[in-house]
Amino acid sequence: MLDIRFVRENPELVKENIRKKFQDEKLPLVDECVALDAELRKVQQEADDLRARRNKLSKEIGGLMAKGLKEEAEKVKAEVTKDGDLLNELSAKQTSLSEELTKKMMIIPQMIDPSVPIGKDDSFNVEVQRFGEPVVPDFEIPYHTDIMESFGGVDMDAAGRVAGNGFYYLIGDIARLHEAVLAYGRDFMIGRGFTYCIPPFMIRSKVVTGVMSFAEMDAMMYKIEGEDLYLIGTSEHSMIGRYIDQTLDEDKLPITMTSYSPCFRKEKGAHGIEERGVYRIHQFEKQEMIVVCEPEDSMKWYDVLWKNTVDFFRSLDIPVRQLECCSGDLADLKVKSCDVEAWSPRQKKYFEVGSCSNLGDAQARRLKIRIKSKEKGNHLAHTLNNTCVAPPRMLIAFLENNLQADGSVKIPEVLRPYMGGTEVLVPQYNSITAKKK
């Protein structure tokens, strides 16, 4: 959410930012907010003047009573009562105007960074750089669930009967691999100096609206019926929410944390053939990273965060690339964002395995997260988040890039301690030839 003073003083800049995000339907909101702000400040001034007058009259009453002028004092009391009634009306109007202004302001997108490429949708996202050499083996790689099934490692049908589409059972070596990747991700981030945390997996509505836009909330969040609680779509939500209504000492910054959580998402919308299996699901687990820092440091931390993900995947010998998100693909609270995409030898293309975002002061403004500074005074923090690793989707890239011609899967050296020293996973049958041993 933007500062209303910024909108008031720079309405054309705000409108241009909306155009860059191809959200022209939101353009009228700028003028509406400026008008509401003017009306609200007028009402506030009227209320302040009335309070000052009422205080003055209240003092007069005491003086009149001291002089024995009871009749005159009663007349002044009547004026004070009348002013009180009017003040109540103004206060109610203030509340109504403030709520309406806030509601509209929360729909206006955050100002994007000048470096963000301009484009209408994700087809305009820009590849920045690649890490590792993409390899296509000389044998055909099966679909990821077929690979998992060759190990007896996944049961989508049973999950469908138990919970519906978008759920899964992971079993045996595949389940162990899933947990090994998460454990390695945890230790990898601790090694980078991040503090490990397991947060609440449910959050209240005031935190939800503080960390994401209404559109994201509707598309993602599951609400607990009869409770003011939502299942988290990512641990970033509860991790940033931890600092709601807090004023942080500048000496304690930056806050750098890495968190484990299950994640729950509606995943609304049509899904293509490449989003079957465990690609786009309603439940998954993730190792996340968040930063709360001074505004001038947020771009530096943005680079640190996405590079952490690149380094993690490269330590597992998985080729990746950084993809800069264009203006139309940025969620409304984001200043700048990029995806880390892993190489899929089967598809012969990259696919998203992580997303890094700098949200500037958008979340901090909504959640009232401030920094106490001796030199700069109290001011809003900046917040950032990034995915370290999110299996089981990440397992797609892992299995495809480590699959051998005999159907076995290599375990990279860094992951072996988390797999009991196992160097190779041996399948029940070769998923490539689909012939039982």
The closest of 126, 143, 181 to 321, measured between CA atoms, is 126
Give the integer Cα–Cα distance in Å for 257 and 292.
Answer: 9
Please state whether the peptide bond connecting residue 392 to the residue before it is cis, i.e. omega within 30 degrees of 0.
yes
Reply yes or no on whether the pLDDT at 158 is more than 80: yes
Whether 32 shows a pLDDT value over 70: the answer reads yes
Identify the band that residue 73 occupies on the pLDDT scale cut at 50, 70 and 90.
low
The string of DSSP letters for 250-316 reads GGGPPEEEEEEEEEE----S---GGGTTTTS-SEEEEEEEEEEE-GGGHHHHHHHHHHHHHHHHHHT
Distances (CA, A) of 61 to 67, 85, 153: 10, 18, 84
Tens of pLDDT, residue by residue over 105-129, are 999 999 999 999 999 999 999 999 9
Nearest to 385 by CA among 306, 282, 294, 312: 306
pLDDT of residue 118: 98
Q: What is the DSSP code (8-state) at residue 327? A: G
C-alpha to C-alpha distances, 39 to 4, 33, 51, 317, nearest whole angstrom:
13, 10, 18, 60
Question: Residue 45 burial (CB < 10 Å; 0-12/13-18/19+)?
Answer: exposed
pLDDT tens digits, residue range 94-104? 999 999 999 99
pLDDT value for 279: 85
Q: Evaluate the CA torsion angle 275, 279, 281, 287 in order and state its sign.
A: negative
Classified as helix, coil or strand, 81 is helix
Q: What is the pLDDT of residue 272?
A: 53
Q: Which amino acid is at 273?
A: I
pLDDT tens digits for 416-425? 999 999 999 9
- Tell whether the model's pLDDT for residue 89 goes beyond 90: no
Q: Six-digit token pair at 9?
A: 């003083």
Residues with Cβ < 8 Å from 176, sequence gap 6 or more?
A: 419
Helix (H) or strand (E) holding 429: strand 429-430
Is the overall model pTM greater than 0.75, yes or no?
yes
- pLDDT of the residue at 276: 74
Look at domain 4-105 and name its CATH class: mainly alpha
- Calpha distance 18→110 (Å, rounded): 9
Percent of the chain with pLDDT over 70: 93
430 touches 406 (CB < 8 A): yes
Q: Which amino acid is at 4?
A: I
Mean of pLDDT over the chain: 92
Structure tokens at 398: 């892992």
| Tens-digit pLDDT profile for residues 331-378 | 999 999 999 999 999 999 999 999 999 999 999 999 999 999 999 999
Helix (H) or strand (E) holding 155: strand 154-155
Q: Is the pLDDT of residue 63 over 80?
A: no
Q: Which of 367, 361, 332, 358 is nearest to 26 (CA)?
A: 332
pLDDT in tens, 243-274: 999 999 999 999 999 999 999 999 755 455 45
DSSP state of 248: E
371-377-382 Cα angle (round to 5): 35
Residue in the block written with tokens 């959580």: 261
Pick from 138, 136, 146, 145: nearest CA to 435:
146
Give me the CATH topology for the region 122-436: BirA Bifunctional Protein; domain 2 (3.30.930)
**CA-wise closest residue to 44 among 106, 101, 87:** 87
For the chain, what are the domain ranges? 4-105, 122-436
Sort strands 349-358 and 283-293 into parallel, antiparallel or unpaired.
unpaired
pLDDT exceeds cutoff 50 at 149: yes
Q: Is the pLDDT higher at 76 or at 237?
A: 237
For residue 437, pLDDT over 50 is answered with: no
pLDDT at 304 over 60: yes
- CB contact at 8 A, 129 and 338: no
Q: Which residue has the higher pLDDT, 6 or 54?
A: 6
pLDDT at 58: 66
Inform me whether the pLDDT recorded for 309 exceeds 80: yes
So what's the pLDDT on residue 62?
Answer: 65
For 203-243, write each residue's pLDDT tens digit.
999 999 999 987 788 888 999 999 999 999 999 999 999 99
For the sheet containing 222-223, what is the strand order? Answer: 202-203, 230-231, 222-223
